[in-house]
Structure 1
Amino acid sequence: MKKFLSQNNGLKKTDIKEIIHLIDTDGVFIKPDFVVEYKNYQKTFYTPTSIMTNKRDLIVERNERKSAILNKLYQTNHIGRINYTVYFFSCNLEHVLHNSQNTTCEKKCLYSYEFVDKYINEEKSFIDFMRSKDFVVEGYYKDTWLFIKEDLNSLNRYCNFNLYLDKMKTT
């Protein structure tokens, strides 16, 4: 926040109402047993039951580091007295929005343009989509985080961003 506000962009701390942080889970809450070494894989590959990689030790270390950070962040309510909330897309944004778990950069670009074309000036359609029973985790904020940390849930298609949209509807 300090770095952002010091960039002479004309914003002051009092101009910021809240910080909304969107993250991919990347399967970080799974047990190390589900990170499988595949020497022949060039890239890390996600499935509903495992992470397959040629860099197992690095992925296990990343999972430990990122899950520890996320465990702190989801319990953080303020950053520098500004309201803060973090929401997840699991396993990643493309997985939730397009049901595509291992998406190439080219496909991500195409998906993003298609998504904008579909939902520009269509706020209600966007909100309805983000409340889809296909991936929404029901419950209160803390409950959704407890859910995504269980078993293999952080590898599967789940999202709790609907909570933010529901909150905006009531304010």
Structure 2
Amino acid sequence: MPSTSKRKDGSSTSTNTKKKTRSFSSYLVRGLWILAGLAGVAAFAWVISRLTLQPEPGAGKYVHDNTHPGQTLRLYLDQPSVKAALLEIGGNIVLLAPLGVLLPVLSNRFRGPLRILLTVGLVSLCIESVQGTMIAGRAFDADDVILNTLGAVLAYLLIGRLVARWAHRAT
């Protein structure tokens, strides 16, 4: 039942003395969602490291950094094989897309397309920087950063919002 109190100026305020309490089961469900999200991110990080941070022997003289957005995309689109272009572009879009779903499940801080864009953009920039400076046969590519980030934002907009809302509502 709400209680009322008088202010110094004579007006009254109403306060609700009931506090919302969570049950043990809601904490358990939330903990399981967080655990599943962390396991998903850990497994995803392992797969990404295997795909992107392994040396490419023999590719050294053919690999060049690209700091001009659109340059590599034009090269992909100028290839005679449409299949090869779609694999390259699609692969980069799909590569970090799971983060657009997993991050908002882990924390409400990652909900919102701008937050996904900034977080995944930074992750992709770090991956590309490591590739360009430390891994033989790999190069930094600005287009990869753009496509990776685009994929995560699209994944968030298409399913990440719904999954995160469902996961947070279950707790």
TM-score, normalised to structure 1's length? 0.24
Structure 2 length-normalised TM: 0.24
The answer to which structure has the higher helix fraction is: 2
* Larger strand percent: 1
